[in-house]
Amino acid sequence: MANDNKTVVIQWVLDTRKLWPQAKQTSQLRQYAARALELLTPTQREDALRYVHCKDAKMALGSQLLKRYLISRYAGAYVKMTGEALLAPWLGVLEMRSFAPPEEEGQLEIYFRGQKLDNVDMHLVNYLELYMIGTSVGRNKDGETLEIGDYELLDIEEVIEFGEKAKAGQVPA
């Protein structure tokens, strides 16, 4: 990857469908995802396990692990992945108009509290045959946008192994 003084966006996809398949309820993650949970602080553990639906708890747990992985891997980078977007109080005043799937032509319009936002780019792509992934990126003060590359499927086992080594003081260079 050439360094041309541009911001680089790394996009990973965490497919939670195959994570800890034995866990059908959130409480069962304490048993089946014990290795992953052990890498978190008690507060992070409880934050990940506060969800009613197991699939949401898996996503929160994956986000917590990914946060630790990225902060460890990319020193100095600030990564914010709270997993609270769907609980945000302002979500009800955000509107998406003229929506079309990625394969169709359409100009998505984004409104916040009734005002059209012209400083946000929304990228929508098909992924893994049955899914779509949306990325929302704010433009800088000059109106320039970031180029967003392809998604890379994240192997959570690799993240857990990295966390275990880091915890044992064996962080790879």
For residue 45, tell me if it sits in a domain. Answer: yes
What residues make up the domain containing 90? 12-167
For residue 5, tell me if it sits in a domain. Answer: no
* Structure-model confidence comparison of residues 32 and 89, the more confident one: 32
Range of lowest pLDDT (3-12, 44-53, 67-76, 127-136) = 67-76
For residue 172, tell me if it sits in a domain. Answer: no
For residue 1, tell me if it sits in a domain. Answer: no
Number of domains in the chain: 1
* Structure-model confidence comparison of residues 32 and 15, the more confident one: 32
For residue 2, tell me if it sits in a domain. Answer: no
In the chain, what are the helix, strand and coil shares in percent, each to the nearest 5? 35, 20, 45
From CA 58, how far away is CA 39, in angstroms rounded? Answer: 14
CATH of the domain at 75: 3.90.470
Long-range own/partner contacts, residues 91-99 (CB < 8 A, 24 or more apart): 96/122
From CA 81, how far away is CA 94, in angstroms rounded? Answer: 20
* pLDDT tens profile 127-165: 777 666 777 777 878 888 777 777 777 788 888 998 898
From CA 67, how far away is CA 79, in angstroms rounded? Answer: 7
SS3 track for 79-103: CCCCCCHHHCCCHHHEEEECCCCCC
Amino acid identity at 3: N
* pLDDT tens profile 58-105: 989 988 887 776 545 443 222 233 344 455 666 677 777 777 666 666
β-strand pairing of 115-117 with 109-112: antiparallel
Indicate if the pLDDT at residue 1 is higher than 80. no
Radius of gyration over every alpha carbon of the chain, rounded to an integer in angstroms:
18
For residue 153, tell me if it sits in a domain. Answer: yes
For residue 4, tell me if it sits in a domain. Answer: no
For residue 117, tell me if it sits in a domain. Answer: yes
